[in-house]
Structure 1
Amino acid sequence: MEHINEEIDFLTSTVKGIAKQFGSDCEVVLLDLTQHEKYGSGLIVRIENGHVTGRKVGDTGTNLGLEVLRGTDQEGDKHNYLTKTKDGRMLRSTTMYIRNSEGKPIGCICINFDITSLMMAETSIKEFTDLNKINTDVKEVFVNNVNDVLALLIQEAQNHVGKPVAHMSKEDKMKGIKYLDEKGAFLIQKSGDKICEYYGISKYTLYNYLDTVRSTQGI
């Protein structure tokens, strides 16, 4: 195999090393192109994980090799391109040619990584995490105790009003209290004390506000 013979041990080690690094879904192939005039069987001289494409030592190369040997494709090397097996599995492939001192291709290393399972997993993940298919209107926060729930609701009430307590008018505070009432804040034990403290009002005022907002809701 011309100069490729001198490097066969290194190339075999390289083929095996790449396959070991990326696992059983990664096929790595070494082809001998020194007898390219007989482009048929016998081109594959080393192969790891041949089950990926169903090939074995002694089988032939692909159509891309013909283009390189014919001179139609001068560059030859192709990196990270998509291919497909006869049974429809998708591969991520790289082809690299070994040339002699005259630039003539005498060998080739091909890497074919089966990404079919990864693509299926990606599709499933996208389906499961597509926010366009998930109801994002529901606001649920997981906390450790009921006081955290109340604190969260009070903050939401302030966001609902759109201003800090220091700048709230009576109407703003009633709007916030209405929000808290609708969210069930007053079902929390002793919530009235914390809400009064937050808004800077007495319990008497709080209950007056509550009576007013509930009467408008028909509660």
Structure 2
Amino acid sequence: MTSPIHAHIPVADAIARLFFPHVEVVLHDLDTGQIAHIANGYSKRRPGDASLNDDGISAEGEADIIGPYAKRNWDGRRLKSITAVLRDTDGKAIGLFCINQDIETFAALGDQLKALTTLPDPAPAASPLMAGDWRETINGVIGDYLSERNTALAGLASGDIDDLLLRLEARGIFEIRNAVPYVAEILRLSRATIYNRLAAARSRRQPSGETA
């Protein structure tokens, strides 16, 4: 049986096409806990991926419109996002219609587009509904690291990457199932390389005379 979420796919595709390449639209199926559709996907997520976490998600008690709220993409770019809760004829929440706008390019245009890109200061975090997304946690750690150094992923030296891996490890990221492949894809490293570089970085940080 076709999910009622699929009826919203043309709307998602239309929005993504109109605002291409700056807007990504993601449809979450609350019944399966998976991404049902993604239009103009630039967040390295795919249909069939878990929506937020392995425990599933629920929109019960949420307002029909959530946001706008601030997010980070995997490459540190700032996103302005908004979510609509999709309901059936009985009012039961069946899905989430999420629009993610990449505002980095617009911000560079200056004051002319300021009204379009400005977020409240400090920008509100995502609602508790979105708080369990481990990908968003990883994106935030990487984004903060890049912001501190005023650089992009492509500008990181080898030592910077090792330092970033140690920071991710300190945050417990690599204890999350499927986190290592996700980080590997972002950094364009193999999983084996990540483990090897982490081991070497730990060794360099360990005071001389101590053993692991």
TM-score w.r.t. length of structure 1:
0.44
Structure (1/2) with the larger helix percentage: 1
Q: Which has the higher contact order (CA 8 A, sep 6+)?
A: 2
Larger Rg: 1
